[in-house]
A and B are shown apart, each in its own frame.
Chain A
């Protein structure tokens, strides 16, 4: 056993509330690491999916069909104005009953086709996506109509105009607000805890339920982990914003 591990074992003896168990117990370290990995994957999936939902939703909001626009509006109102935790529970427990099942790898248990992780990704992406639609719409509205008109007068279709002109320009306007929403989304992944997704919070709670002496250090770890994760996200978003800066435009 290394002196590093010995130090923390001794610390837990001297200060019983400060048992950094995952620094010397491989089993607990694995739980924390696997939780962290699930959180990272969950965040990446939800961030990407919610951005796609935002872009598609903002595009559909410019649709010529009033029915499509009403549908997008209804979606936004529902997912923006209800608590994400309730949405998660609803998707998993209510909708989960109706989704098809398949026979598991053991050959005899029935398993749902969409797992709790799947439902968490769906629910959280729809939740954050509703905000993203509004964020992108605000960006689109900031682009002068005459710029779109110029694209259309060159023979570009509505779809081409959206993807090659309006969207790239509006993204630049939307990034700061998008940044905020994605930060919130990463933090909201902890609510998947409620449907037993083995993410970082879930694993951390399991650790301190088994070892109450590890509660304080594990909470400290949770804060540090989220500060780091969100820090990385913000760093990436800021670099993206810088890379999209256009000489002579908007400054």
Chain B
């Protein structure tokens, strides 16, 4: 039996090592995330940010260390990965919607197939979620008929339909036009305000500063520095962080 209470970290990452062949991408990363927190992971390309959050829902395996979700070891071989993924929502850079399904069907599919919800129940909730991401009226459109920002909001609704405890966002605005970035960020901000635990990999510094409870800066597979947004942006101490911030701010 797993002993976990909400006062303990909902996600606990401890000394995680991950390699792709000879290339070590994560070299001992640790962080604790409390329920309801918003965490932003920033850092240069290739620093292992995306790999790290993909390890949290076991899309990537790890070679060392541990990741627990609500006290459960994620990389336990006996663990049913599908059970784990019900608790963790994930939104990707390229949206990855199901192009042959309408917006409504995209949102309804997993609750019906995975959670075995009734069609009526799933549809009711899907319509609420579509409204929540401000896409009412687009229920019967196909992803190919929507803008990038709209597709990304459908992807968020699709993840939320599984009632996850934690949401992972993997550079979700990186493929968007500048004018549609905002609508996606507002959607995430709404979620955060409702108390959803969110882990974001992002390059949106202004957003991270405003919304994050905690910021982690990664470079070459290690966490170089972390702290509250104020500490991080105003008093960064590590030269690598300073250099990065001087380039992006």
Q: A: which residues have CB within 8 A of B?
A: 144, 146-147, 149-157, 160, 164-165, 168-169, 172, 244, 246-250
Which residues of the partner chain A approach B110 to less than 8 Å between Cβ atoms? 151, 154-156
Stretch of B5-13, B39-47, B89-97, B238-246 on the interface side: B89-97
Could you give 13 example pairs across A and B, Cβ below 8 Å? A150-B90, A150-B155, A151-B110, A152-B59, A154-B109, A154-B114, A156-B82, A156-B114, A164-B98, A172-B100, A246-B99, A247-B141, A249-B143
Q: B: which residues have CB within 8 A of A?
A: 57, 59, 82-83, 85-86, 88-90, 92, 94, 96-100, 109-110, 113-115, 141-146, 155, 158-159, 162
Given contacts A153-B59, A154-B110, contact A247 B144 (CB under 8 A): yes
Contact with B86, one of A150, A155, A164 (Cβ below 8 angstroms): A155
Contact with A156, one of B88, B97, B113, B155 (Cβ below 8 angstroms): B113
Contact with A164, one of B99, B113, B141, B142 (Cβ below 8 angstroms): B113
**Is there contact, CB below 8 Å, between B85 and A147?**
no
Which residues of the partner chain A approach B96 to less than 8 Å between Cβ atoms? 144, 146-147, 149-150
Given contacts A146-B94, A168-B100, A172-B100, contact A154 B145 (CB under 8 A): no
- Most chain A Cβ neighbours within 10 Å, of B57, B83, B109: B109
Since A144-B96, A147-B99 are in contact, a sample of 17 more A-B pairs with Cβ atoms closer than 8 Å, ordered by chain A residue number, is A146-B96, A147-B98, A149-B59, A149-B96, A150-B90, A150-B92, A150-B98, A151-B110, A154-B110, A154-B162, A155-B110, A156-B110, A156-B113, A157-B82, A246-B100, A247-B142, A248-B146
Which residues of the partner chain B approach A250 to less than 8 Å between Cβ atoms? 99
Nearest CB of A to B138, in Å: 12
Complex Cα–Cα for A143 and B132 (A): 30
Per DSSP, chain A at the interface is helix
Which residues of the partner chain A approach B86 to less than 8 Å between Cβ atoms? 155
Closest to B88 in A: A153
Complex Cα–Cα for A153 and B98 (A): 13
Contact with A154, one of B99, B141, B142, B159 (Cβ below 8 angstroms): B159
Nearest CB of A to B68, in Å: 19
Complex Cα–Cα for A244 and B99 (A): 12
Closest to A146 in B: B96
Which residues of the partner chain B approach A156 to less than 8 Å between Cβ atoms? 82, 110, 113-114
Nearest CB of B to A124, in Å: 31
**Is there contact, CB below 8 Å, between A155 and B162?**
yes
Nearest CB of B to A170, in Å: 10
**Is there contact, CB below 8 Å, between A153 and B113?**
no
Complex Cα–Cα for A237 and B59 (A): 38
Complex Cα–Cα for A160 and B111 (A): 12
**Is there contact, CB below 8 Å, between A248 and B114?**
no
**Is there contact, CB below 8 Å, between A164 and B109?**
yes
Given contacts A152-B59, A154-B158, contact A169 B114 (CB under 8 A): no
Closest to A247 in B: B142
Which residues of the partner chain B approach A168 to less than 8 Å between Cβ atoms? 100
Complex Cα–Cα for A249 and B142 (A): 8
Which residues of the partner chain A approach B109 to less than 8 Å between Cβ atoms? 154, 164
Closest to A163 in B: B113
**Is there contact, CB below 8 Å, between A249 and B92?**
no
**Is there contact, CB below 8 Å, between A150 and B85?**
no
Which residues of the partner chain A approach B82 to less than 8 Å between Cβ atoms? 155-157
Complex Cα–Cα for A150 and B88 (A): 12
